[in-house]
Amino acid sequence: MNFEALITLAVSQRPKFKGAIGYAPQVHDISTPPPFLLMYNVVAGTLKSIEDPSVMDVVPGLRLIHRDELAGETARFRETYNKLSTHIPFLADDSSCYVSLDLDDGSVYRVAPEYGTSKLSDSLEAYWETVYECYTAEAFFLDAEGYLDFDFEKEGEVGARINPGCEYWIE
């Protein structure tokens, strides 16, 4: 599985998502963290100001931070979670919840004020594989209003299978 396959799958379920996620040409911006080139060479991300919230998220409730907003979002993340100085967020909601990459060891974490920090996967690649499998296993689906939703149990089963030992999936 590669990131482009995930985006293609997400767009097949929600065609308007293609415009929201911003298909992008190759990025050669030196400010883009190297691990994120995997994503930002395919898409630009979703702007925080998106007008149609039904197409904002690649993971239920979380948008891929637009590459032009990454520096500002990282600054806000570090203000809120100052002990996570080696983390860079790449998914965000509108209430200070994030998915971040720890640049020290390459692990991916869910970070939320009310729940703290939980490890999702050992690598960015494993995280995106989990997301892809959640789409194919129908753990992620469109609700009656056309919003991306999820089945908590199915998502947990997929996550635990791909990321054994990561506490988020065990909780």
Query: What would the two tokens of residue 132 be?
Result: 């892809």
pLDDT digits (tens, 9 = 90+) for 146-162: 999 999 999 999 999 99
pLDDT > 90 fraction of the chain, expressed in percent and rounded: 69
Report DSSP letters for 54-113, one per residue. Answer: GGS-SBTTBEEBPGGGHHHHHHHHHHH-TT-TTEEEEEE-SSS-EEEEETTT--EEEEET
Q: What pLDDT shows up at residue 27?
A: 61
Q: CA separation (Å) from 140 to 58, 90, 158?
A: 10, 19, 11
Given a contact cutoff of 8 angstroms between Cβ atoms, the answer to whether 150 and 139 are in contact is yes
141 pLDDT more than 90: yes
Q: H or E element: which one contains 87?
A: strand 87-92
The mean pLDDT value of the chain amounts to: 91
3-38 residue pLDDT tens: 999 999 999 998 889 889 887 666 656 677 888 888
CB 52 within 8 A of CB 45: no
How far apart (Å, rounded) are the C-alpha atoms in residues 86 and 74?
11
Report how far residue 166's alpha carbon sits from residue 153's, in angstroms, rounded to the nearest whole number.
Answer: 16
Q: Which whole number is the average pLDDT over 161-169?
A: 94
pLDDT, tens digit, for every residue of 76-101?
A: 999 999 899 999 999 999 888 999 99
Tens digit of each residue's pLDDT (9 = 90 or more) over 34-78: 888 888 888 989 999 999 989 999 999 999 999 889 999 999 999
147 DSSP assignment: -
Please report the pLDDT score of residue 153 as a whole number: 95
